[in-house]
Amino acid sequence: MTNRFVAYAGAVLLLQGLAGCSDEKKPGNETTGPVTAASEPVNGAAEIADRKLVVAFGDSLYAGYGVLPQESFPARLEKALAARGVAATVRNAGVSGDTTSAGLRRLAFTLDGLDRTPDLVMVNLGGNDMLRGIDPAETRANLTAICAELQRRGIPILLTGMVAAPNMGRDYAEPFNAIYADLAKRYDAALYPFFLDGVVTNRALMLPDGVHPNPQGIEAIVEKVTPIVAGALEP
């Protein structure tokens, strides 16, 4: 594990507390972030109604930090699902800088602002908590509350997890890394254990900041995640 994430650790040391992935708004001055369509809307209300609705709820890794809107993870996921014959609209509800606490604060507003209940909510939060050294117990509590609210509303969940960088130390990494699998089991959620798996250690797939994937990196992630999303959307 340590060798696999050496590059990740270096990036975290350089970027901890900086803008981009960790530019959370100050308390009392939060923005909820719009829930935007990942691609051009389809024509016809009937066609829209027949499509599955997926909400990508997370931080800059979903929001599309450093890439064009059409290159973001939600946009490319929607295209990949269509290529598999899955008619789905993937809404981008990513906000750069969100910690799990910020995500929890805006969850109800985000869901209530949709025109219908999603068929799936994907959750990718926790990376900024790790960058800030937030106690994993707090991260777990916030993600538990997010999953509990989604379950209460009858919305299926897919967690795309994060992994603590080696420089955080074993005492931090062990409780942090266990969060996503534990919650997936508890809430019967689909799980992709590490969103940046196979990408973060490949410079050709990352932006110069070493933390966010470039368009090629996003495509590599989408290729792995799409089958899991498609399976979660099956009746």
- CATH number, domain of 177, equals 3.40.50.1110
The pTM (predicted TM-score) of the whole model is 0.85
Tell me whether residue 29 is in a domain. Answer: no
Tell me whether residue 159 is in a domain. Answer: yes
Tell me whether residue 27 is in a domain. Answer: no
Tell me whether residue 28 is in a domain. Answer: no
What residues are labeled active site? 60, 209, 212
* Residue 206 contacts residue 212 (beta carbons within 8 Å): yes
Tell me whether residue 106 is in a domain. Answer: yes
Q: What is the pLDDT along the chain (235 residues), one digit of tens a residue?
A: 444 444 454 444 444 433 344 444 433 333 445 566 655 444 444 455 689 999 999 999 999 999 999 999 999 999 999 999 999 999 999 999 999 999 999 999 999 999 999 999 999 999 999 999 999 999 999 999 999 999 999 999 999 999 999 999 999 999 999 999 999 999 999 999 999 999 999 999 999 999 999 999 999 999 999 999 999 999 8
Domain with 93 in it: 3-22+34-232
Select from 14, 18, 88 the least CA-distant residue to 56: 88
Counting the structural domains of the chain, the total is 1
* Two tokens, residue 102: 């910020």
Tell me whether residue 160 is in a domain. Answer: yes
